[in-house]
Amino acid sequence: MFKKYDQKQQFLLPLSLEDFIAEDHMGRILNDIIDAIDITTIEAKYSKDGCPAYHPLLLIKILLYGYMINIRSSREIHKMTHTDTAFMFLAAMQHPDFRTICRFRSTHLDSIKDVFSQVVTVCKEMGMLGVGKISLDGTKIKANASVRQSKSADALDKEIDKILKESIEIDKAEDEMYGDSIPYQMPKELVDKTKRLEKIKAAKKKLEEEKLEKINVTDNDAKIMKHKDGTLKPSYNGQIAVDDKEQVIVAADLVTDPNDLHQVDPMIQLIWATMGYRPSILLADAGYFSYDNIDLLNQIGIDSYIPDNFYKVEGLGKTKYFTKSMFRFDKENDCYYCPAGITMPFKWVQKRDDEPDLKKYIGNHCSVCVLKNACTKAEKRIISRDPREHLMEDMRKKLRTEKGEELYQERMSTVEPVFGQMKQNRGFTEFLLRGKDKAKVEFIMMCIVHNIEKIGEFLKREAKDLKEVLRKGNLLDNLGNIGEIMMNFAGKKLFSSGNGGLINFFNWI
């Protein structure tokens, strides 16, 4: 006996799109969340005249679903609208051309940021955010460019000369072949060389304008960055701030600075803009430690836990000579006490150009000290002190408490798995699009997708119905307000770099 198998059978009732995917399918959760958000700012960008465009909701949904299942190419996404039931459901059986999908993704950075903020608001309304304990982290993601295409001004000049010489050769060969008559088309080889020449010239212009040492010809915005495995690749630095309760990403940005040091101020501004309140606790790794950052966080009342670069090394106790933390500073008498218990008085000031001057303290009895071999190979041990060093000492004290250790451990289990899921589970290890703005769209879409998955897990665990939750929470009103808040922030021009920007921002709030 077999079950009936008839490919020519007719359905008595027409199929409903709703039957294409299961009730708890992630595509359906994505669909309902995107349906709930306010896209009037995107709609306003469309002309009322001409041929009707594909609905932006459709394009947002199929793009996000593509990123969710690691299908990012617009051609692939287009193909899926014909073959995959979840895409068919999300696209309502329409099949936008790959160019339409690609253009939409490339031209809506601000709108994608707004979608991100609204999805965070959904999380907030659902009670998925905690009490403001936020972890900050960054990861290097390879640009869509080869390391060989990162070149210095000299290398660019050499390539320009080479292309020009080759082009002259092609021109000569053409003249011999056609004489005075004009060929129907420019030879492909020459077209390619002309395009390459334009690219190199544009790269050189940017390199000179921004006083860069090297520039990538394929993606001018990408910078050579060191990845965790030690390799150097043209990359971007993806920044995220993650709430501890359900690992929701509450702020995201993509920057070209390989160093995380300058991201504390802008990320806190983004957290404010999205959540409407500042973090109560901020956890970050040593890459974010600077005296300016700690001073700023203290000033605005954020309880931060950020170790300095030497905190871990000193904690391991594996240094050859006594570490600086073994020398006790006496503020009143302006001296240090060394491990042998001997006073090290202040001796001189070392001037610095961009930083406050350093005070130098010196051991006067080192030549007769029995501990000298463990202390210094110089004649005398010298200790330098930055006037802001108390910030680091206070931070170290805080990190060594039970609470500090616990919180720092929490950081690892809050933010690090998010990048793990993004890179390992979804294969997001390289950008598809070139240029900072387009790459940023991709990164923020990955963050939206992450949050939607978190909503899905939360609903399953709490046995809640999304539509019910969205109805109860007056979400639409709140989502409308988010757009307004973002516009106001932009109008106030508070997103400037430097700590001054953040302090002004809080004054304004």
DSSP string, 430-467: B-SS-SHHHHHHHHHHHHHHHHHHHHHHHHHHHT--HH
Q: Does 399 bind ligand SF4 (CB under 6 A)?
A: no
Residues forming beta bridges with residue 283, ordered by sequence position: 135, 305
Per rule CB under 6 A, is residue 347 in the interface with ligand SF4? no
Length of the chain, in residues: 509
Minimum Å gap between C-beta 381 and ligand SF4 is 4
* 365 touches ligand SF4 (CB under 6 A): yes
The residue within the footprint of ligand SF4, chosen from 153, 358, 371, 485 (CB under 6 A), is 371
Query: Of residues 163, 212, 342, 485, which one binds ligand SF4 by CB under 6 A?
Result: 342
Q: Which is nearer to ligand SF4, 16 or 367 (CB)?
A: 367
Cβ pair 138, 287 in contact under 8 A: yes
Cβ–Cβ under 8 Å, residues 163 and 197: yes
Query: Backbone dihedral region of 222: left (phi > 0), alpha (psi from -120 to 50 degrees) or beta?
Result: beta
CB of 356 to ligand SF4, least distance (A): 24
Q: Say whether residue 363 binds ligand SF4 (CB under 6 A).
A: yes
- Tell me how far, at minimum, the Cβ of 317 lies from ligand SF4, in Å: 16
Q: Which range, of 139-147, 149-157, 361-369, 439-447, touches ligand SF4 by CB under 6 A?
A: 361-369
Q: Which stretch binds ligand SF4 (CB under 6 A): 60-68, 235-243, 375-383, 446-454?
A: 375-383
CB of 338 to ligand SF4, least distance (A): 3
**CA end-to-end span of the chain, whole Å?**
74
428, 430, 433, 438: CA torsion to nearest 10: 70
| Piece in contact with ligand SF4 (CB under 6 A), picked from 3-11, 118-126, 131-139, 360-368 | 360-368
Closer to ligand SF4 by CB, 98 or 321: give it: 321
Of 375, 433, 445, 479, the one binding ligand SF4 by CB under 6 A:
375
Which are the contacts of 112, defined by CB distance < 8 A and separation ≥ 6?
441, 444, 445, 448
d(CA 477, CA 387): 50
Please give the structure tokens belonging to residue 145. 């460019």
| C-alpha–C-alpha distance, residues 54 and 328, integer Å | 69
Q: Which of 60, 86, 225, 338 binds ligand SF4 (CB under 6 A)?
A: 338
Q: What are the residues facing 215 on neighbouring strands?
A: 151
Assess 343 for contact with ligand SF4 (CB under 6 A).
no
Distance CA 369, CA 209 (A): 57
- Using the contact rule CB under 6 A, the part of the chain among 18-26, 96-104, 338-346, 449-457 near ligand SF4 is 338-346
Nearest distance, CB of residue 343 and ligand SF4, angstroms: 9
CA distance 310 to 392: 10
**Measured between alpha carbons, how far is residue 218 from residues 200, 210, 249, 428, 429 in Å?**
9, 17, 30, 20, 18
Judged by CB under 6 A, the chain residues 116 through 145 that form the site for ligand SF4 are none
Number of residues that bind ligand SF4 (CB under 6 A): 13
* Region of 241-249, 282-290, 339-347, 483-491 interacting with ligand SF4 (CB under 6 A): 339-347
Beta strands in 351-407 (DSSP E): 358-362, 382-385
Which of these ranges, 128-136, 148-156, 166-174, 368-376, lies near ligand SF4 under the rule CB under 6 A? 368-376
* Nearest approach, Cβ of residue 334 and ligand SF4 (Å): 17
Binding segment for ligand SF4 (CB under 6 A), chosen from 359-367, 387-395, 457-465, 500-508, is: 359-367
For 145-198, give the DSSP string. Answer: S-GGGEEEHHHHHHHHHHHHHHHHHHHHHHHHHHTTSPPSS--HHHHHHHHHHH
Which segment (57-65, 121-129, 166-174, 335-343) binds ligand SF4 by CB under 6 A? 335-343
Residue 366 in the binding site for ligand SF4 (CB under 6 A)? yes
- What is the nearest approach in angstroms of ligand SF4 to the Cβ of residue 337? 9
| Min CB(369)–ligand SF4 separation in Å | 3
Both tokens assigned to 435: 């240029």
Report the residue from 21, 255, 283, 369 that binds ligand SF4 according to the rule CB under 6 A.
Answer: 369
Q: Burial, 223: exposed, middle or buried (Cβ in 10 Å; 0-12, 13-18, 19+)?
A: buried
335 binds ligand SF4 (CB under 6 A): no
Is residue 361 within the footprint of ligand SF4 (CB under 6 A)?
no
- Return the residue of 127, 187, 258, 339 that touches ligand SF4, per CB under 6 A: 339
53: DSSP letter: P
DSSP class of residue 8?
T
- The smaller minimum CB distance to ligand SF4, of residues 140 and 372, is found at 372
Site residues (vs ligand SF4, CB under 6 A)? 338-340, 342, 363, 365-366, 369, 371-372, 375-376, 381
